[in-house]
Structure 1
Amino acid sequence: MVTLADFQTDFVAFVISAAVVAAYYGFLNFKVRDNPTYSIHGVNALARRLWVENVMRDASKGIMAVQTLRNFIMGSSLMASTAALLIIGTLTLSGQADHIAQNWHVLSLKGSFATELWIVKVMFLLLDFIVAFFAFAMSVRLANHVVFMLNVPEHTAHHNLSPKAVARRMQRAGNMFAIGMRAFFFAVPLVFWLFGPYFLLISSIGLVIALYQLDRCESEDAHEANLRPASVAVRPASPQIVPMQTKYSK
């Protein structure tokens, strides 16, 4: 008979992994308060706002704006389709718990391979992919709204069509795309959790280290300062060139 004590290792590993990820995002929010462009998300938000204002200020850039948004929508649609396929695959995986739950725990030193716990793990993974699908679908929806709002000639007729209002909607589309990508990243520890609780801990720590490297946006001055000693070399003094006629005329 399976008891709650059998799930203790997996429960502790899940709590520690969630605490590590929460601590990282707490640190990131603390840094962003002082410097909004500390993370790449802040830089992207600034770029989207300036891009919308520039396009709505210059009517000749309408075609470029529509093409850019089309590429953005195509990317979001592709990721939403990928999330839908992953949802179907996860549902298929849940129906094979009796056959593969014990086999996948061969490398696990500790932890339960009970069918009930396997279903819980698969449900967490399924929920993660559903969040990703919803986020990418909302990104497509918001970007479709922006396509029509960018080319409105009389945008001053209503406050919801002003460049700032359109930029806010574009920001929401970008944020939804970022949430969907984060959900894909969080699926990595959840997949490793299927193999055991210690794999969940290791993959969560590795994910936080990778996100720390990807989320930071170094300033240009610091980047140039790091490259200057290696890129600037001391050139030797060039020898003085003496014309042949002058050399042999004496």
Structure 2
Amino acid sequence: MEEDELDYLLVPLGLLLLLLYHVWLLFTIIKHPSKTVVGLNAQSRHQWVFCMMSDPLKNGVLAVQTIRNNIMASTLLATISITLSSLIGVFVSSDADNSTSEIVFGNKTPLLSAIKYFSILLCFLVAFLCNVQCIRYYAHVSFLITLPASVDNTETVEYVARNLNRGSYCWSLGLRAFYLSFPLLLWIFGPIPMFLCCSMMSFLLYFLDTTSSFTRRLHRRSFNEDTLKACDVESISQVSQRVCIEEYNLHSPLLHAASNSAC
């Protein structure tokens, strides 16, 4: 098989593999959110918003600082993505008339080379836009999180939780764009590394996105160990408190007797 035929065969197969995985992931998030990390995180953020807004005077500073940390992380990713986009644009414009790209495997035609660089540039631009939207939602939530919310009026809590989840979804889409840029970068070196990267990334993303029996066992192993240690520490503290109370009850009659004799 010739080099051009490998590009026409392996590259669509790798992209189709990633597309089918994300279509399945989207269907699972919509139908069975508890089986995905995205759905569980959305439910956890909803509970966190309800806890923070139940007492804004006490939890307002903690909520604003948490959202500020997320804004700083989104700002960092947005800066990295727009910087990489600018560097790729400068590299393509300066190397447009050169023929040095012909030494790379699978890069014999100028049109194919342009498609490779344009796809990478598009990934970083999408990541930049998603992170900017993430900053927008988080900044809006930082104002709304300090509003007092009663138990009867849950519309405010639902609105704040919805905006917070939208910001998190934009963050996830920005990360997916970064993930997709890895096989596209390897496509510069040929279609075979690109296809292998797509296959490995699908497996790794399945491990990171789902909460199946296999992944749940691996995720909860360290948590169970920490929980057992915490339970042991708590049981030890309870036993020590019980011993102190029993000693106090044992010696308290003697103390009362000594105090009465002294009187």
Q: TM-score, normalised by structure 2?
A: 0.74
Q: What is the correspondence of 1:184-195 to structure 2 with a 5 Å cutoff?
A: 184-195=178-189
Q: What is the correspondence of 1:2-81 to structure 2 with a 5 Å cutoff?
A: 7-33=4-30, 35-59=32-56, 60-81=58-79
Which residue pairs with 1:209 in the alignment?
203
Structure 2 distance, partners of 1:94, 1:195, is 16
Match of 2:169 among 172, 175, 183: 175
Structure whose CA Rg is larger: 2
DSSP 3-state at the match of 2:189:
coil
Residues 27 and 221 (structure 1 numbering): CA distance in 2 closer, same or farther, change over 3 Å? closer
Amino acid at match of 1:39: T
Q: Give yes or no for contact 2:35–2:211 (8 Å, CA) kept in 1.
A: yes
Residues 219 and 146 (structure 1 numbering): CA distance in 2 closer, same or farther, change over 3 Å? farther
Which residue pairs with 2:145 in the alignment?
150
Residues 199 and 6 (structure 1 numbering): CA distance in 2 closer, same or farther, change over 3 Å? closer
Q: Give yes or no for contact 1:39–1:215 (8 Å, CA) kept in 2.
A: yes
Amino acid at match of 1:165: Y
**Shift of residue 15, structure 1, vs aligned partner:** 1.6
**Shift of residue 33, structure 1, vs aligned partner:** 4.9
Q: Give yes or no for contact 1:101–1:114 (8 Å, CA) kept in 2.
A: no
Structure 2 distance, partners of 1:34, 1:221, is 19
Which residue pairs with 2:89 in the alignment?
91
Residues 222 and 116 (structure 1 numbering): CA distance in 2 closer, same or farther, change over 3 Å? closer
Amino acid at match of 2:183: P
Amino acid at match of 1:101: S
Q: Give yes or no for contact 1:10–1:112 (8 Å, CA) kept in 2.
A: no
Q: Which moved more, 1:32-41 or 1:214-223?
A: 214-223
Question: 1:22-78 CA distances to partner (integer Å, 9 max, x unpaired)?
Answer: 221233344445531212111111111111111111121001000000101000001
Residues 20 and 221 (structure 1 numbering): CA distance in 2 closer, same or farther, change over 3 Å? closer
Amino acid at match of 2:162: R
**Shift of residue 112, structure 1, vs aligned partner:** 4.2
Moved over 4 A (4+): 5-8, 218-222
Q: Give yes or no for contact 2:149–2:157 (8 Å, CA) kept in 1.
A: no
Aligned residues: 218
Match of 2:217 among 217, 220, 223: 223
Amino acid at match of 2:169: N
**Shift of residue 217, structure 1, vs aligned partner:** 2.6
Q: Give yes or no for contact 1:139–1:177 (8 Å, CA) kept in 2.
A: yes
Which residue pairs with 2:129 in the alignment?
134
DSSP 3-state at the match of 1:194:
helix
- Structure 1 gap ranges (5+): 233-250
Residues 112 and 214 (structure 1 numbering): CA distance in 2 closer, same or farther, change over 3 Å? same
% same residue: 28
Give RMSD over aligned pairs: 3.0
Q: Which moved more, 1:136-145 or 1:21-30?
A: 21-30
DSSP 3-state at the match of 2:15:
helix
Task: Looking at secondary structure, tell me which structure has more helix per residue.
Answer: 2
Structure 2 distance, partners of 1:51, 1:154, is 13
Residues 135 and 222 (structure 1 numbering): CA distance in 2 closer, same or farther, change over 3 Å? closer
Structure 1 distance, partners of 2:67, 2:133, is 14
Q: TM-score, normalised by structure 1?
A: 0.77
Amino acid at match of 2:12: V
Residues 220 and 127 (structure 1 numbering): CA distance in 2 closer, same or farther, change over 3 Å? closer
Question: 1:99-145 CA distances to partner (integer Å, 9 max, x unpaired)?
Answer: 43123x2xx3xx34222211111001101100000000100011000
Which residue pairs with 1:113 in the alignment?
108
Residues 65 and 227 (structure 1 numbering): CA distance in 2 closer, same or farther, change over 3 Å? closer
**Shift of residue 6, structure 1, vs aligned partner:** 8.1
DSSP 3-state at the match of 1:208:
helix
DSSP 3-state at the match of 1:102:
helix
Amino acid at match of 2:39: G
- Structure 2 gap ranges (5+): 229-263
Structure 2 distance, partners of 1:148, 1:32, is 29
Structure 2 distance, partners of 1:191, 1:63, is 42
